[in-house]
Structure 1
Amino acid sequence: MDQCLLFLLLLLMGRNGLCQQEEVCSKSVINSCNDCIRSGPYCVWCQQLNFTKAGEQEAARCDTQTQLIARGCKMEEIISPKDHLIIVKNDPLSNSFKQQESVQLTPQKIQLILRPELPITFRVSFKRVQGYPVDLYYLMDLSYSMKDDLENVKELGQDLFAALNKITGHAQIGFGAFVDKTVLPYTNTNKKKLQKPCDDNDQQCQAAFGYRHVLSMTPREDEFKIKVKEQFISGNLDSPEGSLDAMMQAAVCGDKIGWRNSSTRLIVLTTDAGFHMAGDGKLAGILEPNDEQCHMEYNLYTKSSEMDYPSVGQLAMQLEKNNIQPIFAVTKNMETVYKQLSKMIPKSEVGVLSSNSNNVVQLIESAYNRLSSKVTVTHDNLPDNVRVTYTPICDHAGLAGDNEGVCDNVHVEQEISFNVTVTALSCMEKKSFTIRPLGIKDTLTVTLSTNCECKCDDPSDRNHTHCKEKGRVSCGICSCQEGFVGQFCECAIGDKDERTLRASCQRQNGTECEGRGDCVCGRCQCHTTESGSSYHGDFCECDDEHCEKFQNKLCGGKGKCNCDRCECNPGYEGSACQCRVSEEGCRTLNNTVCFGRGTCKCNRCECKEGYQQPRCKKCPGCPDPCQTKLNCIECLGFDSGPFKKNCSMACSKSIYHEMVNQFTKLNQQCQQKDSEGCWVKFNLEQLVGDDNYRAEILKQRDCPEPHSVTAIIGGSIASVALIGIVLLMLIKLFIYMKDLKEFRKFENEKKKSKWANADNPLFQNATTTVSNPTFTGE
């Protein structure tokens, strides 16, 4: 009876979260009821006969419950598979420790049958049992620098057991030691140095080694003392040690270490140096990666020189798998290094050792209290397409990652709870996964399967009248006999009126079914694409493979591709669903979005034409508002101007104004001449919105004084006469300058002229010359 009530309570809790979500059915290829319910968590199917109209595709039967009822589908005719939660094992929490019977986590087994993408929430409870056993494995660095620390550790057995007995009456302690791989460049491989790697003056020095298991888990204090006192210091060359090698073997060699099944498992690592990790082995030519297996013979790690160091991830996985919580007790100079390591290993703590390790007991006690007071619930490897989230229900909810829930400051015997929400993202076969608190053996096994099949109340008639007695009814639609097709099996293959039927399969007289399907009885039956999905649409015009991609994922992996367009999941937007829905980047100082002059898309303002990003505050290319708002300023402030008759209608909605004697500092100062020739001074501030201003108008405007008509006429005549005289003088001057220029040009040409002395080519000399010999010339 109690389990039934708890089941109903958990089921109601799971549904409460869903009521707050918007129900949307994103339909893709719908040919049956099964296709419908696989399309989305809120898609339901109407099996009511004659629900679809003549010629309407049967995919119209698939929609949200609200939409189908609004379109006339009766509630009892709607098919909608529900989530189911079955508690298989629910043993109550224990109040005190009982060997092999203590229960710290409840329930222990549940079975979920989920509708894809429809989450369900259930509660798990945890209570730490008083006196729960503790297994502590003391793993010590025995390199030479830890010589003084070893001497103190040999004496801490009594104090260590006393501290553990405060926590539990069922404590066990083991001991192990490590140095580093016994190969170069980590250790001197000289034969003498391998046998005695310490200082020559140090007589008590053991041979170099990687990791040695010294003492299996024991409740006996004297046995711990004896074994530890037998240990001596060793040595190596480089500063980092083989800490991770040792921790890996201590984690995976459970039968040799002696870990109990029902216990809190602790590894206390004490060192004053850093650590080698995966990849460092290449320095020594060691290329084989760590296989995370136990390789211990005669209490020595035999693969130390053959196998690389484990990675931090490998070690963290094995510690978590084996419920082991490490405590790093390190010197002050190594605190930062190991705190970084602790961030990568769940349920681990770091404490600072004193110079000689005499505070190690107090350090272990403090670290254990911190570990035990922090409860972290998580899961192991999830099946594909399954999502799990945790909501802690406790007084001190701690910071958690995406796949875990945390409660801090939890006391022994204090009961805390976590709400666990599981979502299957697609249809799948039966799978299982485990939920558990880190460091605790108790687990919750969740068996998960999906409900992707419709269970319709179909009539038994093989030849139903709804299907023209040529087929049977399956979830409200006809499944026709061979040789008949159509919505109601009304068409026999080979009907003569083929032309009319084929015309109805053509969009805008185009290709029949876009070349992607067959026209059957006047309706397109679409082919499948190359990837195996189907074309769809009335004319097979759509497919779900050619949407925009983001980060090489269709619709960014945050939406569905439907007919070449992305339909984004809730909380995402953009052409490729690449953005989270947010207005943070669009918010202004006055808490508006883009100053009301744009829309916020992908957390960025898309401004109206002219306005500039990032938040649409300014518009450099827009007309000067001092000029565009002048007529409104004139009519609002002085009841004049072109808008005088309809001022309230034209201006009051776009300008909030006030008349002032003195300006305050608004954004834009304006001085314009109005329609009466007066200078108007006003300040403008653009408010939220495209055409929304606040104006301060100076009550006084500067208007010119009227002039004397006689003075204006006299002045005009005198001005005209003066201008005429000036023009005549300018013309006279121009003519004079031109004549002077021509005269000077003539004089220059005259000076340059020269008379020729050559004979006249037309003159001929006399052919005969007669001289009088008696002529004397007198």
Structure 2
Amino acid sequence: MAAPVRLQVLILLSLATNVWLEQTCEKGAVHSCNDCIKSGAFCSWCKSVNFTNQGEPDATRCDTKAKLKERGCNDIISPENSKGNTKTRPLMGPTQTTDAVQIFPQEVDLKLRPGLPEKITLTFKRAEGYPVDLYYLMDLSYSMVDDLQRLKTLGKDLVEVLRKITGGNDKARIGFGSFVDKTVLPFTNTNKEKLKNPCPTNEKEKVACQPPFGFKHVLALTNNYQSFNTKVSEQHISGNLDTPEGGMDAIMQAAMCERDIGWGNATRLLVLATDAGFHMAGDGKLAAILEPNDEACHLDQNLYSKSNLLDYPSVGQIARTLQKKNIQPIFAVTSTVKGVYDELSKMIPKSVVGELTKDSSNVVELIKDAYNKLSSKVIVTHDVLPDKVKVTYTSSCPKGNTPGDEGICDDVKLGQEVQFFVEVTAQECMDNVDFYVGPRGFTEKMKVTISTRCECECDDPPSFNDPHCNSEGAIKCGTCKCNPGFTGQKCKCKQGDKNDADLRQQCRGDNSTECGGRGDCVCGECQCHKSPNGNPYYRKYCECVDEGCQMHNNKECSGNGDCKCGTCKCHDGYDGDACHCKKSNEGCRTGGSICHGRGDCQCGNCKCNGGYQPPFCLECQACTLPCQQSANCIECLGFDGGPYAKTCTTNCKHLKYEMVPRLSLNTQTKKCEVRDSQNCWLEFTMEELIGMNNYSVQILQDRRCPEPPPIPAIVAGSVAGVALIGLLILLIIKALLYARDLKEWKKFENEKKKSKWSNADNPLFKEATTTVTNPTFSGE
């Protein structure tokens, strides 16, 4: 048993250490006890008079309890949170005289230390026989003709199911509305004849057809079930051009027109029955409808009067409106569009999708099953929070132990109590503010009122001209509060006296001007003036004033934020330099990602990183796939080698890879060929995934490595090569010599041809003067 006990002790010590580390006091400029208490949740103040040493500022009195005790302080001020339940009606079901009470407590009063969380336990108990309001919203486009005929015969069964849900009493109410689409091109045929009778020509004689319309409220919520049957039986089919319908317009009007629909203090269900998809924000531009949906009721004689003037609402607007009005939608749709509404349901909390048969014959059973799913899943959340208030939730249910923006419990039975733990944190000092917490789909809410404890509660005895304060002040929370005309830590500085250079230097920031020229230096501290607009300068050197922030619509910070030291601090739900944008990711969403994971959504537009281009950071013209940079990762992932062989998991986690044969290599993506550390060729394809530097990689199973060189052949070839080269050199020399000799010979021959014999007479030669003829010479 000793080992387990020792282990438990170590775990407890570890937890205690973690708590100790969390309790820090990161104080800023602290001049008083109040400044200290406002600095952080764990900042405490030592009020012992002689706690500070000579030359130490009063700011050293501010620290955590533990550190102050270590330094010998035995009189510590540290306000704690307090909680009180101001309204506590017991949990009970509905009776003839009172409504059901399903949450406890109903009102809570919190006094919070800024930054210090406080936990509230909210108990929920499903009451049997709780009232139900069901508004049936039906698509009356022509493809729903069989469904309308079937609904006319199922009205009685639907009413009986509602009666059973509420325990057999008359606390179930039912209403009816219908919709088609906007009556403008390209959504509806605007030919005069078609506007009168939009049904197909060959079907006009078979069914009664009414003109198209956007949304029509037919029957307000009532427990007169015969009225429902009568009104439904009076309905006629209609028609339009395109396949998507105006269901989003109809949902918005059914939710916002509370008085017309008759929504009450009950479980609110909205059934949307259709066999088609839906138009949403932006589609109105096809008909030159540019004005966004204003989330308001526009019923005129039970018809949606601004159907052709306002765009369709966005999915975000629908989700926000349904949550605000505590309405739980049930999408009763056919199999052809069920996938579309499954995706829509993921974005709308407390919604259910059910599959209709072709003629809606199963709608009664579908509504019954959907109601059971919705009522058995309890989601607790809050409405709009005050500024600087943070709320997180956990629950006693198995799936609700992780803190989040809402508390969740599944499979909650009738009469079962479940607990939700609501942790509330005030991040700044504030006056009384309140908000409401409760289960979605129920009108019952717990009111939470918050006030903060930002003042020191010192309970000092009366003190005047105390010797500790140079007889010129009183002790307040351990420090001196000086009489008029005196200042300083112990009231030793008389205002008006010349301060020495050291004191004046303490009033200078980065420049040489005392207090920035916006205050007076008194005993080494800046006493700040007010700006021409009357706002006080503040901080150590009077460098800040709460003005000069960016304007929008002639309002500082658009009226949606506070100007702090020249910069807008936006309220929750707003963004931008001038807080002029509502925080929303709808304009940046592509599929399931925001800006494709490569940028930030600012004012509904993607601000892309790394050279990626708006609007959704999908393309990067200057970017290239990192083929060469991925060589080491490809080698270690596919072949367990290379420089990353031992750190492959850490260095290459950005690559999702698979090994494939050559025939399976994806030819639609870019192919890379690089050499690895063994001089082998690696072949792979890379496809960019969502986010920065994330890729899907297909690696070819076989890599091409060079064969080892044949050494004998290389040696033999080298010898033969040397001999051949020598022979070639000799031949070249011989050829050069022969060419030179031939050139000389030709030159000699040319010179020889140019030489001539001379015919000149010898000047010494004399001809004979006597000629003797030989008598015997015959002349031959």
Taking structure 2 as the reference length, the TM-score comes to 0.63
Superposed structure 1 runs of 4+ greater than 6 Å apart: 510-519, 526-531, 611-618
Letter in 1 for 2:121: R
**Cα deviation digits, residues 296-333 of structure 1 (max 9, x gap):** 22221111112221122222222112211110011111
CA distance in 1, matches of 2:71, 2:36: 17
Counterpart of 2:127, as a letter, is V
Shift of 1:52: 0.8
Q: Is the 8 A contact 2:394 2:402 kept in 1?
A: no
**Equivalent residue, structure 1, for 2:162:** 164
The alpha carbon displacement at 1:336 in A equals 1.0
**Which residue of the partner structure matches residue 240 of structure 1?**
244
Which residue of 2 is the match for residue 128 of structure 1? 126
Distance 1:613 1:475, change over 3 A: farther
| Residue 185 of structure 2 is aligned to residue 180 of structure 1 | no
1:187-198 aligned within 5 A: 187-198=188-199
Offset, 1:444: 0.4
Q: 1:461 maps to what in 2?
A: 463
The secondary structure found in structure 2 opposite 1:388 is: strand
Match of 1:268 among 271, 278, 288: 271
Counting only pairs closer than 5 Å after superposition, residues 59-74 of structure 1 correspond to structure 2 as 59-74=59-74
Task: Return 527-536 or 131-140, whichever deviates more.
Answer: 527-536
Equivalent pairs: percent with the same residue? 53
Equivalent position to 2:489, from 487, 490, 497:
487
Q: Which residue of 1 aligns with 2:43?
A: 43
Pairing of 1:681-720 with structure 2 (within 5 A): none
- Greater radius of gyration (CA): 1
Cα drift, residue 346 of structure 1: 1.3
**Whole-Å separation in 1 of the counterparts to 2:516 and 2:220:** 75
Counterpart AA for 2:405: N
Tell me how far 1:190 sits from its aligned partner: 0.9
C-alpha distance after superposition, 1:562-594 (max 9, x if no partner): xxxxxxxxxxxxxxxxxxxxxxxxxxxxxxxxx
**For 2:364 and 2:401, how far apart are their aligned partners in 1?**
29
1:732-747 matches, within 5 Å, as none
Tell whether the 8 Å contact from 1:528 to 1:535 is kept in structure 2 after alignment.
no
Q: Secondary structure at the match of 1:214?
A: strand
Q: 1:54 aligns to what SS in structure 2?
A: coil
> For residues 518-542 of structure 1, what are the alpha-carbon distances to aligned partners after superposition, in whole Å with 9 as ceiling and x for unaligned?
7655x455879999552389xx9xx
How many angstroms does 1:175 deviate by?
Answer: 1.2
Indicate conservation of the 8 Å contact 1:97/1:130, yes or no: no
Distance in 2 between residues matched to 1:112 and 1:51, nearest whole Å: 33
Amino acid in structure 1 at the alignment position of 2:141: S
- Count of residues paired in the alignment: 538
Aligned counterpart in structure 1 of residue 449 of structure 2, from 429, 447, 450 = 447
| 3-state secondary structure, aligned to 2:134 | strand
Identify the match of residue 416 of structure 1 among 409, 415, 418. 418
Q: Does 1:57 align with 2:54?
A: no
CA distance in structure 1 between the partners assigned to 2:225 and 2:516 by the alignment: 85
SS of residue paired to 2:36: helix
Q: Secondary structure at the match of 2:366?
A: helix
Alignment of 1:340-419 (within 5 A): 340-394=343-397, 396-397=398-399, 402-419=404-421
Shift in Å, 1:459: 3.6
Matched, 1:535 2:540: yes
Measured after TM superposition, the shift of residue 513 of structure 1 is 8.5
1:321/1:19 CA distance change after superposition, 3 Å:
same
Q: What residue identity is the alignment partner of 1:43?
A: C
Tell me the equivalent position of 1:713: none
Q: Does the CA contact (< 8 Å) of 2:504 and 2:521 recur in 1?
A: no
Match of 2:427 in 1: 425
The Cα of 1:468 is off from its aligned counterpart by 1.5
Number of the residue aligned with 2:302: 299
| Closer, same or farther: CA 218–486 of 1 in aligned 2, 3 Å | closer
* 1:680 corresponding residue in structure 2: none
How far apart, CA to CA, are the structure 2 residues paired with 1:321 and 1:245? Answer: 17
Is the CA contact 2:516–2:541 (under 8 Å) kept in the aligned structure 1?
no
Query: What is the CA distance between 1:194 and its match in structure 2?
Result: 0.4
Q: Which moved more, 1:96-105 or 1:160-169?
A: 96-105
**Residue type of the alignment partner of 1:136:** L
Q: Give the Cα–Cα distance (whole angstroms) in 1 for the partners of residues 17 and 284 of structure 2.
A: 52
Is residue 515–residue 541 contact of structure 2 (8 Å, CA) maintained in 1?
no
SS at structure 2 position matched to 1:29 = coil
Q: Counterpart in 2 of 1:90?
A: 88
Quick check: 222-231 or 54-63, which moved more?
A: 222-231
- CA distance in 2: counterparts of 1:553 and 1:288, whole angstroms: 29
Task: Give 2:35's aligned amino acid.
Answer: D
Q: Assess if the C-alpha contact under 8 Å between 1:139 and 1:269 holds in 2.
A: yes
Q: CA 1:616/1:326 → structure 2, altered by over 3 Å: closer, same or farther?
A: closer
Residue aligned with 2:337, SS: helix
- Cα distance in 2, alignment partners of residues 271 and 505 from structure 1: 74
- C-alpha distance in structure 2 between counterparts of 1:493 and 1:259, whole Å: 68
Q: Does 1:221 align with 2:222?
A: no
In the alignment, is the contact (CA less than 8 A) between 1:513 and 1:524 conserved in 2?
no
Shift of 1:288: 2.1
Q: Distance in 2 between matches of 1:283 and 1:191?
A: 21
Deviations 1:57-76 (A, max 9, x none): 010111111111221211xx
For structure 1, which runs of at least 5 residues remain unmatched after alignment? 1-15, 541-551, 558-610, 619-770, 772-778
The range that moved more, 121-130 or 210-219, is 210-219
CA, structure 1 residues 273+511, in 2 after alignment: closer, same or farther (shift >3 Å)? closer
Equivalent pair of 2:438/2:445 in contact (CA under 8 Å): yes
Distance 1:398 1:164, change over 3 A: farther
How big is the shift at 1:481? 2.5
1:150 is aligned, of 148, 151, 156, to 148
- 2:256 maps to what in 1? 252
Separation in structure 2 between the aligned mates of residue 308 and residue 163 of structure 1, nearest angstrom: 37
RMSD: 3.9
Q: Residue 592 of structure 1 corresponds to which residue in structure 2?
A: none
Helix, strand or coil: the match of 1:67? helix
Residues 1:511 and 1:200: Cα distance change in structure 2 (over 3 Å) = closer
Structure 1 contact 526–534 (Cα < 8 Å) conserved? no
* 1:389–1:98 Cα change, 3 Å: farther
Question: 2:568, 2:257 → 1: CA distance?
Answer: 43
Other-structure match for 1:658 = none
Matching residue's letter, 1:227:
K
Q: For the structure 1 residues 183 and 165, does the alpha-carbon distance in structure 2 shift closer, same or farther, using more than 3 Å as the test?
A: same
Alignment partner for residue 212 of structure 1, among 202, 210, 216?
216
Q: Give the partner amino acid of 1:180.
A: D
Shift of residue 116 of structure 1? 0.4
Against the structure 1 CA distance between its residues 208 and 520, is the aligned structure 2 distance closer, same or farther, given a 3 Å change threshold?
Answer: closer
Please state how far the C-alpha of 1:211 moved relative to its aligned partner: 1.1
Following superposition, the deviation at residue 187 of structure 1 comes to 0.6
SS of 1:38 mapped into structure 2: helix
Alpha-carbon separation, structure 1, partners of 2:507 and 2:286: 71
CA distance in 1, matches of 2:521, 2:391: 46
| Residue in 2 that maps onto 1:732 | none
Q: Is the 8 A contact 1:178 1:246 kept in 2?
A: yes
**In structure 2, C-alpha distance between the alignment counterparts of 1:182 and 1:462, rounded to whole Å:** 82
For structure 2, list consecutive stretches of 5 or more residues without a partner in the other structure: 1-15, 544-566, 573-642, 651-763, 765-780
SS in 2 for 1:165: helix
